[in-house]
Each structure stands twice: as structure tokens, then as C-alpha cells.
Amino acid sequence: QVQLQESGPGLVKPSDTLSLTCTVSGYSISSDYRWGWIRQPPGKGLEWIGSMDDTGSIYYNPSLKSRVTMSADTSKNQFSLRLNSVTAADTATYFCARVRGFCGGGRCYWYYFDSWGQGTLVTVSS
Amino acid sequence: QSALTQPPSASGSPGQSVTISCTGTTNDIGGYSYVSWYQQHPGKAPKLIIYEVNKRPSGVPDRFSGSKSGITASLTVSGLQSEDEADYYCNSYGGINTLVFGGGTKLTVL
């Protein structure tokens, strides 16, 4: 069965870049699933950050698009998130997840997240 | 892209049924049948309990059911049990390659 594990610094300074990696085991990220990131500020709801398909196309939440970069390293079966110019508002638990969806013709229809990592708390503070 | 609207709280006694609503727009819930629901216990990752409006993943009890009418999706939990006390989030395809979540509903089993 697929397992996902987030890793990265738990503390980031304001204006710096937040970098996280999701290591996937039990399933190849090059296969027909898609992968994504979701975050949850303390005591608040879930927010979709972005998702990537198996062709390398990546789609971001419009509200974060100017600051977010996602990438994948298929040789390590990992995918990553970078969020630059962070502020206290970016303090959250960050989850990586496997996402079901259909992509074609330059468009993706995202269906649901069927497997999640345990999440990692990232605090933005000086 | 705005968050889907859920009631902040819901409650019921053991054995009762509770329904949680999730309201969107014609650009998300009303336009597609890609609504999913997640259960989240404190300190844990969300768990998929309903996908594509009314389908249950393997292992999810049939006490959980989903439906959709127009721009509103609903999750019904029948035969409430103490372990059902958790936060519940709806999610929908938001159009133009995006996803949108609801604000979450805290379900209390009285």
C-alpha cells in the first residue's frame, strides 16, 4: 500500500523560502496517479496548494500561484514544495497526498485525495 | 475561487443520523460530480470517506453516505457512534484545474 511522508524544516524565518519533500513508498510517482500538497493553519480548515500530473504539468491554487513551486524527482520517488516570501500566515501543517484525476488536452479534472501523509507543522517565525 | 460553505458545527446522539451540508456554486459543486468528503480526527491526517459524490472507499462503513442537489452536497452519518466525532471537510473540483475545500464542520456526538 502507498505511504507518504513529509520532511523538511519545522521553523522558517519570515521572508525566507519554505521547502518540503514528500517521499512516496509502495507506489511509483511515475505511474498513473497524481500528487499534491494541502495545508492547514492551526485550528483552521484545509487549503489546496497545488497538484501535478504524471506528465509533469503542475497546477496551483491561484491565491498562492505567485509564490509556489512544485517539482518531482522520479529517481527518488519524491516530490517537493517550495513557498517563497513566507509570512506568519503561512504557518500550517503541510500534507502531501495522492490525488485521483483525469488529465488531457492541457486540462486536469481533480477527483479526490485517496492517500495522505501524516503532515508536518511548519512555523514561520523569527 | 472561494471556499465551499459548511456549517461550523453539527451534533447528534448515538444512534441518530446527522447531515452536513456543503454549498458551492455552479462553477464547482453544481458543475461537476467530483465531490469528496474527508474525516479528520485531532492531530491526524484527513481520511477519505466519500468520493465522486456518493461512493465509499473500501473499509468505510455504509453508515456514511453522500449526495448532491444543485450546488449543495451533503454527507449523512447514520447510526452515530462515538468514534464519528471528528471534523469533516468537503472538497470539489473547482474548475480550470483547481480544487476547493469547505471550511470544515465539527461533529459532536452527544
Length of chain B equals 110
pLDDT for residue A121 is more than 90: yes
DSSP B102: B
Residue of B nearest to A111 (CA): B34
pLDDT at A103: 85
Confidence of residue B27 (pLDDT cuts 50, 70, 90): very high
The pLDDT value recorded for residue B32 is 93
Q: What is the pLDDT of residue A5?
A: 98
pLDDT for A57: 86
The B residues from 89 to 108 touching A (CB cutoff 8 Å) are 89, 91, 93, 96-104
* pLDDT for res A33: 77
Report the gap between the CA of A75 and the closest CA in chain B (Å).
26
Residue B1, pLDDT > 70, answer: no
* Residues in Cβ contact with B104 at an 8 Å cutoff, skipping those fewer than 6 apart: A44, A45, A46, B6, B8, B40, B87, B88, B89
pLDDT at B95: 84
Cβ-Cβ contacts under 8 Å, B44 against chain A: 118
Mean pLDDT of B18-35: 95
